Structure 1
C-alpha cells in the first residue's frame, strides 16, 4: 500500500488531465461542474452504460479496483501495488478505440476510502479543466453507495463540484436470482458479501434505478418496483434519458441514508401481477429474546428480501437491525433510538424515537411462506401479560450476544 499525502490531488493533476482533454457541454444546474456516479453488481451492465453514454455531453471515466497479488495485468507489469484504475475512452466526441488509463496506488488499506479520495482528485481536476461540464464515474462493481457517497459529498462541499444524482443498474431478467438466492460476490480479496445484500442497499440509497431487460411479463421488474423507494426515479432501459436525469439532480446523502436506515425504512410496495408481494409488519411490543432465537429461521423464511428493525427488553435503548437478502440473514446493532434520522432532540418529546418492531418483507409467490413469516412475527413478540416482567430482562443475558458481538 502507498500512503496518501496532503497534496495528493495536485500530484495527480497532470496525469488526470490526460483522462479527459475534451471539454463537455455545460450541464451543471448551478454553473458548477457536475459529478455523477453509476454503480452495479454486474460489470457487464456498466459496459452497456459506457457504450450508451458515448457521444453524449459528458466525459465518462471507468473506475476499477485492482489488487496486485491477484491482478494479472499488474503482475505482468512488475507492479504488485493495489490500485485504483481509471480508464477514459468515452467523451462528447464518441467512443475511442484507444482508451487512456491511469493507475493510482491505493492511498489507504480500505478500497472504498481509496476510491473516494481518488474521485475527489478527479472531480476537482475536471472542474478546473471544464467548470460547467459533466463527469460520469462508472464505479467498480459492487461498491455500496452508502459507504462511498456521504463522505464524498462532504469532501466536495465548498468546491467547484456538485455531486449530482447517483444511479444503480440491474437486470430485471436476473433480479430474482441475484436478490433472492445466495450468490457470493468476491469483488475483492476477503469479500464475503452476496449480490442480494448490495442490490438491496443500493436500491434503497440510489437517486435513480436503471432497470435493463425489462419486459411486461417479468416478475423481476415487479420485484425491483417493490424494493425501490417511491422518491427514487426508475428508468426502464438505456433508451431513457439517463445522463439528463442524473445531472438534473443533486445528491442528498442525508435523505438517502434515511431511506435505508433500519428504523425508517418503508414498505414501498408495487405491482402484484406476477406474484410479488410485500408484508408490512409492525408492533410496539418488543421481541422475546428466547422466542426470537428459536423461531429465527421461520421469521427469515426462504427466497425473501427483508429489512427493518426490532427491539428487545434486554437492550431497550438499542435499534436492532434485521436484513434478509440473497438467502442470508444479517442481525446487528444500528445505534440508539435517539440517533434514528428524524428522531427529535428535545428531552420532552420522544415520540418519533419510540422503540418498535418493524419489518418489511418481500417475496414472489409462495403464499405459505408469506403466512409463515407473518405468524412467526406475531409469535415472537412479547405478549401483553409478559410486559410486566420486561424490566427483569435489563442487564440479563439474553442469549443473543453472539449476534450482536457483545453480551447484553
Structure 2
C-alpha cells in the first residue's frame, strides 16, 4: 500500500494558514485537513476539525488531563493512524494550532508509537509549511510577549514567549509562505532574517503559491520535519554571512571555558536586537557537561545536552553519531579534547562587534585558565541545570528541555 503524504502546516497568522490550507485543497481534492484547536485545552476541551472532500466534521474532545501531550497521544496520532489506513486520502495536512511548535510535533510523529510503530511508518512526512505575516512576524520574533498575552492557547505551566514560537515555526520550515501585507523595507528585512534562520527553506508569496505547496520537489537539503541533533553543525544549509538590511550572522568559536558569572551577565547582549542564538557552551564549573543555549527575542534558555566525548569512555564514542565523532576528531585539542564554545547569533538591530566583545569577555582569562580546573570549580555559578533568562522560576517544560530530552532518548 502506498503511504499517504503528510504535510505539517503551521504559523501564527491564522488567516494565512487557513488560506494556505484552502490552496492545498484546491490543488489536490483528495487531501484531508486535520486541525486541533487548543484554545480550550486548559479546561480539558479540544476542538477537532477534519475536512476531506465534502466531509467537514467538528468534534469536541474531553481530555482528562488537559495537556498537549494528551492531545497528541490520545487523539491526534490515532487520527493520523486511522486516516493512513485503506480508503484514506492521498495526502494529509496536519494544521497545527498556532501555539504549537512543529519540532515537538514532528518528533512525536517520528518517535511516539501507535500500535507498536511511529506514525511515519504509515505516512510519508514530506515536510513543514510555515506561514509568515511579513507585516508582524519580525516584531513577534524579536519581542518578549508571552504566548498567553497574544491570546493563544493557555497551556499548563507555559511561559514561552511568542518569539520562541515564531522562530521555532520558521526554523523548521521547508516552505515559507508570505502572507499578510508589508512595505518593501519590512519585507526585505524579514526576508533577510528568514534567509539566515531557515536557509534551506524555499520562500513564496501566498498569491503565487502553486504546486510547491505540496512539497513534492524539495531539494536534498530539506529538513522534512527532522529536528536537529544538538551536536550537528550550527550553520545548516549554508546561510548568507554578509550583512543585509542590518541583519547579520555572528559566529563565536573558542577553545576555553566560560566564566559562569560573567556569562550570566553577558547574556543581556543576546536579548536586545537579536532574533536567535543557538549553540553549545562549556562552563568552567562543569567540565564534563555540554550545555545547549538557545534564545529567541527576549527569552533565553540553557539546558543540559549530555557530556563531552573527552573522558566519556568507549561506550560514549560508540553511541555518538559518525558526524559527531568526525567533528570531535578533527577539532581535538590536546588539553580540552572536544570541549569548545560554538554559538551562532542572528542579529537584526544590534552591533555584532559589541555582542562578540561581550561574549568573548566572559571567557576565562589567561590567568584564570592557567589556575587549572580545581580553581574553576570554585567559581560562582548562577546557572541551574535548567536556566531561563530573564531570571525567574522554572518554566515547566521549556522548548529546549523537551528537545534535549528527545535527543538523549
Q: Distance in 1 between matches of 2:207 and 2:94?
A: 17
Structure with greater Cα Rg: 1
Q: Distance in 2 between matches of 1:116 and 1:42?
A: 26
Q: Could you say what secondary structure the match of 2:324 adopts? A: coil
Q: Could you say what secondary structure the match of 2:208 adopts? A: coil
Structure 1 runs not aligned, ≥5 long: 1-29, 71-81
Once the two structures are superposed, residues 113-134 of structure 1 have per-residue CA deviations (whole angstroms, 9 ceiling, x without a partner) of 5225423222222222435611
Q: Distance in 2 between matches of 1:347 and 1:164?
A: 32
TM-score normalized with structure 1 length: 0.74
Q: Does 1:381 align with 2:363?
A: yes
Q: How well do the aligned residues superpose, as a CA RMSD in angstroms? A: 3.6
Against the structure 1 CA distance between its residues 60 and 159, is the aligned structure 2 distance closer, same or farther, given a 3 Å change threshold? same
Deviation at 1:214?
6.8
Contact 2:196 2:249 in 1 (8 A): yes
Q: Does 1:256 align with 2:226?
A: yes
Q: Does 1:188 align with 2:151?
A: no
> In the alignment, what sits opposite 1:198?
165
Q: Does 1:36 align with 2:7?
A: yes
Deviation at 1:391?
0.9
Deviation at 1:348?
8.6
Deviation at 1:69?
6.2
Q: Distance in 2 between matches of 1:68 and 1:224?
A: 31
Contact 1:225 1:270 in 2 (8 A): no
Against the structure 1 CA distance between its residues 264 and 398, is the aligned structure 2 distance closer, same or farther, given a 3 Å change threshold? farther
Contact 1:200 1:325 in 2 (8 A): yes
Matches within 5 A, 1:216-227: 216-217=184-185, 218=187, 219-227=189-197
> In the alignment, what sits opposite 1:119?
76
Against the structure 1 CA distance between its residues 231 and 88, is the aligned structure 2 distance closer, same or farther, given a 3 Å change threshold? same
Contact 1:204 1:256 in 2 (8 A): no
Contact 1:83 1:103 in 2 (8 A): yes
Matches within 5 A, 1:77-96: 82-89=44-51, 91=53
> In the alignment, what sits opposite 1:16?
none
Q: Give the counterpart of 2:108 among 129, 151, 160.
A: 151
> In the alignment, what sits opposite 1:10?
none
Deviation at 1:193?
1.0
> In the alignment, what sits opposite 1:334?
305
Q: Distance in 2 between matches of 1:351 and 1:114?
A: 45
Deviation at 1:151?
2.4
> In the alignment, what sits opposite 2:123?
161
Q: Does 1:138 align with 2:95?
A: yes
Deviation at 1:365?
4.2
Structure 2 runs not aligned, ≥5 long: 310-315, 388-409
> In the alignment, what sits opposite 2:344?
360
Q: Does 1:170 align with 2:136?
A: no
Q: Could you say what secondary structure the match of 2:215 adopts? A: helix
> In the alignment, what sits opposite 2:176?
209
